[in-house]
Amino acid sequence: MLQVQNLWKRFGDAWAVEDLSFHVNSGEIVGLLGPNGAGKTTTIRCVASLLQPTEGRILLDGHDVSEDPVAAKRALAFVPEVPNPYEMLTVMEHLRFVAAAYRMEEELVHAEAILRRLDLWEKRNELGVSLSKGMRQKLACACAFIHQAKIFCFDEPLIGLDPKGMRELKSMLMERREQGNALLVSTHMLDTAERLCDRVIILKRGKLVAEGTVQELHEKLSSTDGTSLEDMFLELTEEIEPV
Ligand SMILES: Nc1ncnc2c1ncn2[C@@H]1O[C@H](COP(=O)(O)OP(=O)(O)OP(=O)(O)O)[C@@H](O)[C@H]1O
Ligand SMILES: [Mg+2]
């Protein structure tokens, strides 16, 4: 459903992503993990066509984002690392705008249910400028859920959410998985990733250092029972000091 093939992205002289390949199938939540600066946001921004890859190919529901951008973008819902709502649109107007942009106005019948689940229904007539950080995050998620995307990309969606919001969002992600969507979620919350994700991809300095189910990572690292994803993450991403 989502395929990233030999993705390279350079900023100036520095490579942010180097020869990265992975895929996300339908009915799967894949966690994109890595230390700060590992290249998670760069990868997701390339998938969302907000950055032009230096090299490589990205396919969304079979459509190449550079050759067939309209069809590719139609398949994708994306929640950025720092949501930036339109200051002068209300919460409800954001959903109407997204539904209109995707020509899916009929999906607005779900707006109330989505906003209620994210505790935004009472705020439906408030302007984007007046929303708190967590409410902005929830609004970005609501906009992602309003159109019938096949692929969801979330860049640290749980940051800034209150406990109920986190639980609700995780349920919404799992429901989308049940419906056969492909979901890519970057996060630093490793205990959540361990419970939520079917597979994880671990990046370090722009390169893939491990990929698979938590069980597969255990086998690759020959770790003992009781070793957490956090333990394995720290081992895989450890910086070795030059001697
Ligand atoms: N617009 C940019 N211009 C120059 N360098 C950039 C730019 N965006 C990202 N980088 C660099 O690319 C590398 C990867 O950054 P990226 O934001 O993808 O990391 P990340 O894994 O999302 O980190 P975090 O966990 O902090 O969000 C970093 O070295 C960063 O400094
Ligand atoms: Mg990031």
Task: Tell me, yes or no, whether 159 and 41 share the same domain.
Answer: yes
pTM: 0.93
Task: Tell me, yes or no, whether 154 and 237 share the same domain.
Answer: yes
Domain membership of residue 230 (yes or no) is yes
Domain membership of residue 28 (yes or no) is yes
Q: Is 16 touching ligand 1 by the criterion CB < 6 Å?
A: yes
Which atom of ligand 1 is found nearest the CA of 203? Answer: 21
Q: Is 42 touching ligand 1 by the criterion CB < 6 Å?
A: yes
Task: Tell me, yes or no, whether 65 and 104 share the same domain.
Answer: no
Task: Tell me, yes or no, whether 128 and 236 share the same domain.
Answer: no
Domain membership of residue 47 (yes or no) is yes
Distance 48 CA to ligand 1 centre (A): 15
Q: Is 40 touching ligand 1 by the criterion CB < 6 Å?
A: yes
Task: Tell me, yes or no, whether 68 and 186 share the same domain.
Answer: yes
Q: How many domains does the chain have?
A: 2
Q: Is the pLDDT of residue 159 over 70?
A: yes
Distance 96 CA to ligand 1 centre (A): 32
Task: Tell me, yes or no, whether 139 and 112 share the same domain.
Answer: yes
Task: Tell me, yes or no, whether 110 and 47 share the same domain.
Answer: no
Segments forming the whole domain that contains residue 139: 86-148
Average pLDDT over residues 87-116: 92
Average pLDDT over residues 81-90: 93
| Per-residue pLDDT at 78 | 93
Domain membership of residue 63 (yes or no) is yes
Domain membership of residue 80 (yes or no) is no
| Per-residue pLDDT at 47 | 96
| Per-residue pLDDT at 213 | 92
Task: Tell me, yes or no, whether 159 and 233 share the same domain.
Answer: yes
Which atom of ligand 1 is found nearest the CA of 81? Answer: 27
What tens digit of pLDDT does each residue of 136-157 get? 999 999 999 998 899 999 999 9
What tens digit of pLDDT does each residue of 3-39 get? 999 999 999 999 999 999 999 999 999 999 999 999 9
Task: Tell me, yes or no, whether 164 and 240 share the same domain.
Answer: yes
Task: Tell me, yes or no, whether 117 and 15 share the same domain.
Answer: no
Q: Is 37 touching ligand 1 by the criterion CB < 6 Å?
A: yes
Top pLDDT among 164 and 227 is at 164
What tens digit of pLDDT does each residue of 192-230 get? 999 999 999 999 999 999 999 988 888 888 777 678 888
| Per-residue pLDDT at 241 | 66
Task: Tell me, yes or no, whether 115 and 186 share the same domain.
Answer: no
Domain membership of residue 173 (yes or no) is no
Domain membership of residue 174 (yes or no) is no
Q: Would you place residue 243 in the very low, low, confident or very high pLDDT band (cuts 50, 70, 90)?
A: low
Which atom of ligand 1 is found nearest the CA of 38? Answer: 21
What is the CATH classification number for the domain harbouring 5?
Answer: 3.40.50.300
DSSP string, the chain: -EEEEEEEEEETTEEEEEEEEEEE-TTEEEEEE-STTSSHHHHHHHHTTSS--SEEEEEETTEETTTSHHHHHHTEEEE-SS----TTSBHHHHHHHHHHHTT-GGGGGGHHHHHHHTT-GGGTTSBGGG--HHHHHHHHHHHHHHS--SEEEEESTTTT--HHHHHHHHHHHHHHHHTT-EEEEE-S-HHHHHHH-SEEEEEETTEEEEEE-HHHHHHHHTPPTT--HHHHHHHHTPPPPP-
Task: Tell me, yes or no, whether 141 and 155 share the same domain.
Answer: no
